[in-house]
Structure formats: structure tokens, C-alpha cells
Amino acid sequence: MKELQRFGYPIFFVVMAILPHLLNSRWQAVAITFLIFAVVALSQDIVLGKSGMFNMGQALFFGIGAYTTAILNSQFGWPILATIPLAILIPAVFGVLLAGPIVHLRGDYLLVTTIGFNIVFVQVVQNNLGGVTGGPNGIFGLDSLSFFGTDLISQVSVYYFAFAVLMLTLWIMRNLEGSKPGRALHYLREDQLAAESIGINTRIYKIFAFALGAGIAGLAGTVFVVQYSAVSPEAFNFIQSVLFFSIVIVGGSSVPGVLIGVFVMFVLPEIFREFATWRFFIFGFAMIAAMILRPRGIIPATFGKIPKFLIKESNHGA
Amino acid sequence: MDIFLQQLANGLTIGSMFALVALGYTMVYGVMRLINFAHGDMVAASAFVGLTIYTQVMGQAASLLAVIVIFLLTAVAMACVGIILERIAYRPLREAPRLSAVVSALGASLVIQNGIMLIWGPQMRIFPELVPQISWDLGGVVISLIQVIILVLSLVLMVALYLFVEKTRIGAAIRASSIDQDAARLMGINVNSIIALIFIIGSSLGAVGGLFIGLYYRGITFNMGWQYGLYAFVAAIIGGIGNIPGAMLGGMLLGLFNAFIAGYVSSTWSDAFTFILLIIILIVRPTGILGERVAEKV
């Protein structure tokens, strides 16, 4: 594991940095998709893996971010880059408002409530509430990324924009792990009662985790708008949330595991296009097999610098 | 007033279908603490299995005997699928972290849903008209024969299940296993058989629910399991998941709520209202209407 961290990450970053120059435009688009969904999956990992809250509605915050950018651009003519602060802030505020009343719910109840939020969101945008979401067709024909007056239309520039967002996400997650909130989330995931008894305000930290995950997912939503210059309700329905949820658990809620999960779920189908109709049939079996063979995920997460002899073969439970 | 009575009749019909499917979720959850996400897709599959039995085995006969045979064969077939599902996807994960079993259930759901698509195709299929289209006009309220059949048969099944669980020795074993599996095992209860039995009962009730959905709505699609399954699951949670009378109550309440929303507001908002209702109920009563207030110990 240590070796992987020492050599794996630099190799990964170098490969990702030169990747767009090695690919044709179709595969560049696939790579950008990978980056976007990797960011959303990592934001899901903050809520589900790092904090242990059964959130099955992460596509909601992804969608709020994307729709924020799209509406500000199409209705108010804001340039895409200028929408970024709000595309982070509005999902984060929604994260606080929605998580606030429900974080005390038991695991499975939290899960179904977050599914509910996701479904309500999709129905709201489909029914074109307020006349700004474009209904079932969504919003299309949005501006491309422009930076101080220069349009960055080429896929390579979009790729680097998405890559920068992924790097930012990884940096936030690394800092989170070593910081006070990160340790607090880890404790409350392991044992909420014990965390409360040593003075951790679990409610505040749970809401914080939701807001952080929501903000990052919202930023990924902006990248989504830049890539497709369109948004539509289906891109954010609850099936997407199910995929992100599964990716985090199958991956073992570690960064390499989640990235592998995103690769398998979103890139492999592009390689094996002739099996398109079999895609989810095979994924279903793969999910069952992965969980039976490795119940704690493909690459289980390790936390912090706890000496090995202190970590017993414990069951992390729910 | 007419619209009220009409939606009351529709709501009771839909509600009894929700309740039948919700029982499958709640019984599995009660014993295994697992959301069986594949249950909704099993319900969808049973409508397709019923369709195939009708066209291939029964030679498109729609007599009363044929209908009974279709219901029985479908229930038996889905009970077998339920047992296989439990063996393959859930039994190896009983001691695993809970989320692993949830993902396995999601995987099983994808397998069944896309299995239906690969076998019967992605397009909507029309379920045969097994019950003659008779309806009565009771002073402005139209009630069809199929609605009466659904309501009566569902109530009979639910009462039978309730008596089975509350009054028989096997029922006592089911209740014991849902309270504490280890203690039940020490009392000589074969928990593995109980779990298999739970899947047999839940899947057969789901099969009846799936056939009702086919008979009532007529159009069946491979991915309808997500939708009906989610509603039934919400019904189980509203009633208090793990609680058998709770699932019946939750199903009926949700069916009535949906019918009144469709009647008085608009059916395009039914999903949103359903989940807003769920969220409000969970905020007021975090474990559902009939759920016990227990601390989560995991």
C-alpha cells in the first residue's frame, strides 16, 4: 500500500497530464467523462465512505451544480467561469438545508430519504418549475468555457479544466484526512456514540460532510456543463446516484479503489461497445462477485498513521 | 364528492398492490436487516413470467382455471428465483459489512432487470386481459371487477399472512429470528430455513403483486421494477420497516395518498409528493408509523 502511494500517484498524475495528447477526440471525450464522474464519486466518498452516512442521492448535488451553471448562463448570460462560485455554494447550501433535518436518521432511513431528495429534484426540473429548467429536454446550446475573453473550445482545454478539478478534489480529500474535521468524521463513522462521548458534535460534522460533498459535486456539475454544453434531467436521476454509491462501496472507499470503480463503470463500456445491451447485466454480476470476494471493497481504505499492531481485524460494520 | 369516492376506490386498489410488494421488503428486512433492492425487479419479472405462461403454457386461454394456474405457476417460479437469489447474492454476505450486502442487492437488481430486457426485449409489452372488463357504476363512482378482485384477494392474502406469522409455530420462529438470530438459533430454530421461507413468502406475494400490476395497468416494461419497488419500499418504511401490519398500513396509506394527489393536484407531481410525505413522516416519527423506537446498534 505504501509503495502504491509513493509511486502510484506520481505515475497516475503524469499519465493523466499527457493523456489528451495521446488520444483522438472520441477518447478525449471519454477521458473527460472519466474525470467528471471521478470527482462526483470522490465527493460521494466523503459522505458515504469517510463519514459512513448512507447517501444514495449524490447525483442531486451534481445536478444542482450543473443546473446552476446552466441557468445562470442561459437566463442571465453569465460566463461559465463566473458561475463557479455559485455552482459550489448553492449545492452546499442545499446540502446543509436538506441534511439538517435528516442526519439523525438511522442508516437505511437516511438512504431512502436521500433517494427521495434525488427523485423530487428530477421531478422538479422535469416539470420545469419556475420556467427556467427547460423541462424534460433540459437546457442546451450553452456557452463554452472562456477565459479573459479567449474561448477555450478545444477538448484539450476542457480536459485540463476537468483534470484541475480532479486534482483540487484529491487535494481537499488529502487535507481532510489529516485535519480535525476529517478525524472527527472518521470517529463518528466508527462509533457515533463514542464520538459523541469524547465531545465531537456529530450533527455539525455530519452536515459539514454533506455540504462539502455537495459543493464538490456541484463543481463537477459545472465541468459537466462545459463538456456537454447541455443539461437534462436524466443525467442526474437516481440511477446515477446508485452507480456512484456502488462505485464507492465496491472500490472500498479509497481513492485508487474509487478511480478503478469509475473506470470500470464509465470507461470500459466505451471500449466494449458491442456489449452495450449486456452492460448492466454484467455489472450486476460483477457487483455481487466483488462484494462476495472482497466484502470490504477492492482496495479497502486505510486511515491515517495508526501503527499496524493497533489495527485489529475489525469489522467496520455499517 | 364523486371524485373523492372514485379516488378512494382507486387508492385502495393501488394501495393493496403496494402493500403486497411492501410485505416482501419488510419481511426480508425484519430478519436480515437488508434492503432487498432486487425485490422490485422480481415483481416486474413476475408480470413477464405470467405473460409467458399465458401465451406459451396456457395457449392464451383466459378461463377462471387458467387464471388460477397462471397465478400459482408464477408464484412458484418467483419463489424459486427468490431462493436462488438469497443463496447466491445474500447468504455469503451475512457477516460482511452491511453496505456490502446493499451493493450486492443493487447488483442483483441490475441482473434481474437487464435479464428481463435481454429475454423479453426493451419495448413495452401488453399484459393479457385475463379478467373480463366488467364495471359497475355506483352513482357516479365506477368500480371495475379487476379492482374488486385485487382488493379482496390482497386482503385475504394479508390476513392469511398475519395469522400465519402470529398464530403458528413457524410464525413464532420467524418472529424470533427477526428479534435475535443468534438467540433463535440457540432455541433450535434453523435460521437458514427461516430466511429461505421468508424469501419464498415475500417473492410469491411479490409475484401476485406483479400480476396485479400487469392486470391493472396492462403495459409492462422491463424497468418498471424500480418504480413500483421504490413506492412499495417507501410504503414499508412509512409503516415501519420490519413490521408486517406496518407494511399493509403503509401500502394502503401510500396508495390512497397517491390517488388523491392524482385526483386533486396532478399526477406529474406524484413522485415528489410521495417522497415529501415520506420525509415528513420520518422527521416526525423516525422509524415509521408502527416502527419500534430502537437505537441502532451496529
- Residues B40-89: pLDDT tens digits? 999 999 999 999 998 887 777 778 888 888 999 999 999 999 999 999 99
Residue A140's beta-bridge partner residues? A230
Rounded Cα gap, residues A173 and A253, in angstroms = 12
Rounded Cα gap, residues A220 and A266, in angstroms = 15
- Residue window 255-284, chain A: list those with CB within 8 Å of chain B: 277-281, 283-284
Nearest residue on chain B to A317, alpha-carbon basis: B97
Rounded Cα gap, residues A205 and A193, in angstroms = 14
CB distance from B296 to chain A under 8 Å? yes
**Mean pLDDT score across all residues of chain B:** 88
Contact residues for A111 (Cβ-Cβ < 8 A; gap 6+) = A54, A55, A56, B35, B102
CB distance from B187 to chain A under 8 Å? no
Rounded Cα gap, residues A112 and B232, in angstroms = 12
ipTM surpasses 0.95: no
B92 and A283 within 8 Å at the Cβ level: the answer is no
A288 and B279 within 8 Å at the Cβ level: the answer is no
Q: The dihedral of CA B153, B154, B160, B163: what is its sign? A: negative
Q: Is B214 left (phi over 0), alpha (psi -120 to 50) or beta?
A: alpha
Torsion angle, alpha carbons of A75, A79, A80, A82, to 10 = -110
Give the closest-approach CA distance of B141 to chain A in angstroms. Answer: 30
Distances in whole angstroms, Cα of residue A108 to Cα of each of A32, A96, B33, B35, B233: 33, 20, 9, 8, 11
From the list B240, B208, B259, the residue with the least C-alpha distance to B21 is: B208
Rounded Cα gap, residues A261 and A25, in angstroms = 23
For chains A and B, what is the number of CB pairs under 8 angstroms? Answer: 137
CB distance from B107 to chain A under 8 Å? yes
- Which whole number is the average pLDDT over B271-285? 87
φ, ψ of residue B144 to 5 degrees: the values are: -95, 160
pLDDT, tens digit, for every residue of B116-165?
A: 999 998 899 998 888 888 888 887 788 888 999 999 999 999 999 999 99
A88 in Cβ contact with A215 (< 8 Å): yes
Confidence of residue B294 (pLDDT cuts 50, 70, 90): low
B103 and A117 within 8 Å at the Cβ level: the answer is no
Q: The dihedral of CA A108, A122, A252, A196: what is its sign? A: negative
From the list A8, A1, A34, A15, the residue with the least C-alpha distance to A261 is: A34
What per-residue confidence (pLDDT) applies to B298? 39
What per-residue confidence (pLDDT) applies to A44? 93
CB distance from B106 to chain A under 8 Å? yes
From the list A78, A21, A45, A6, the residue with the least C-alpha distance to A166 is: A45
Chosen from B99, B117, B261 to mutate, greatest number of chain A CBs within 10 A:
B99
Q: Is B26 left (phi over 0), alpha (psi -120 to 50) or beta?
A: alpha
Contact residues for B273 (Cβ-Cβ < 8 A; gap 6+) = B257, B258, B261, B265
pLDDT, tens digit, for every residue of A162-195?
A: 999 999 999 998 888 888 888 888 888 888 888 8
Give the closest-approach CA distance of B178 to chain A in angstroms. Answer: 17
Nearest residue on chain B to A316, alpha-carbon basis: B97
B101 and A284 within 8 Å at the Cβ level: the answer is no
Contact residues for A188 (Cβ-Cβ < 8 A; gap 6+) = A51, A52, A195, A196, A200, A202, A205, A206
SS3 B226: helix
What per-residue confidence (pLDDT) applies to B13? 92
Chain B positions touching A124 (Cβ under 8 A) are 272
Give the closest-approach CA distance of A162 to chain B in angstroms. Answer: 28
Give the closest-approach CA distance of B130 to chain A in angstroms. Answer: 31
pTM of the model: 0.88
| Stretch (H or E) spanning B137 | strand B135-138
φ, ψ of residue B121 to 5 degrees: the values are: 90, 160
- By the 10 Å C-beta count (0-12 exposed, 13-18 middle, 19+ buried), B28 is classed as buried
B106 and A246 within 8 Å at the Cβ level: the answer is yes
Does pLDDT of B273 surpass 70?
A: yes
Chosen from A98, A112, A192 to mutate, greatest number of chain B CBs within 10 A:
A112
CB distance from B68 to chain A under 8 Å? no
Nearest residue on chain A to B113, alpha-carbon basis: A281
HSE (CB half, 13 Å, CA atoms) of B259?
22
In chain A, which stretches have pLDDT less than 50? 317-318
B100 and A295 within 8 Å at the Cβ level: the answer is yes
Rounded Cα gap, residues B223 and B124, in angstroms = 10
CB distance from B64 to chain A under 8 Å? no
Chain B positions touching A117 (Cβ under 8 A) are 275, 279
Chain B positions touching A315 (Cβ under 8 A) are 95, 97
pLDDT, tens digit, for every residue of B226-240?
A: 889 989 999 999 998
A120 and B117 within 8 Å at the Cβ level: the answer is no
Chosen from B104, B119, B289 to mutate, greatest number of chain A CBs within 10 A:
B104
Q: Where are the domains of chain B?
A: 19-223
Chosen from A109, A240, A241, A244 to mutate, greatest number of chain B CBs within 10 A:
A109
Rounded Cα gap, residues A297 and A247, in angstroms = 9
A108 and B241 within 8 Å at the Cβ level: the answer is yes
Taking each helix axis from N to C end, the angle separating B2-32 and B244-264, rounded to the nearest 10 degrees, works out to: 150
Chosen from B98, B103, B223 to mutate, greatest number of chain A CBs within 10 A:
B103
Nearest residue on chain A to B226, alpha-carbon basis: A239
Rounded Cα gap, residues B75 and B210, in angstroms = 10
CB distance from B269 to chain A under 8 Å? yes
Nearest residue on chain A to B117, alpha-carbon basis: A277
Nearest residue on chain A to B114, alpha-carbon basis: A281
CB distance from A293 to chain B under 8 Å? no
CB distance from B265 to chain A under 8 Å? no
Number of other CB atoms surrounding residue A233 within 10 Å: 22
Distances in whole angstroms, Cα of residue A51 to Cα of each of A204, A218, B279: 12, 19, 22
B103 and A291 within 8 Å at the Cβ level: the answer is yes
B275 and A116 within 8 Å at the Cβ level: the answer is yes
b/e sequence B130-168, b meaning 16+ C-beta within 10 Å: bbeeeeeeeeebebbebbbbbbeebeebbeebeeebeee
Read off the C-alpha cell for A216: 464538490
CB distance from A23 to chain B under 8 Å? no
**DSSP, res B34:** -
Q: ∠A250-A238-B209 over CA atoms, to 5°?
A: 100
B100 and A108 within 8 Å at the Cβ level: the answer is no
Contact residues for A100 (Cβ-Cβ < 8 A; gap 6+) = A207
Nearest residue on chain B to A286, alpha-carbon basis: B107
Q: Where are the domains of chain A?
A: 19-237
- Which whole number is the average pLDDT over B189-214? 93
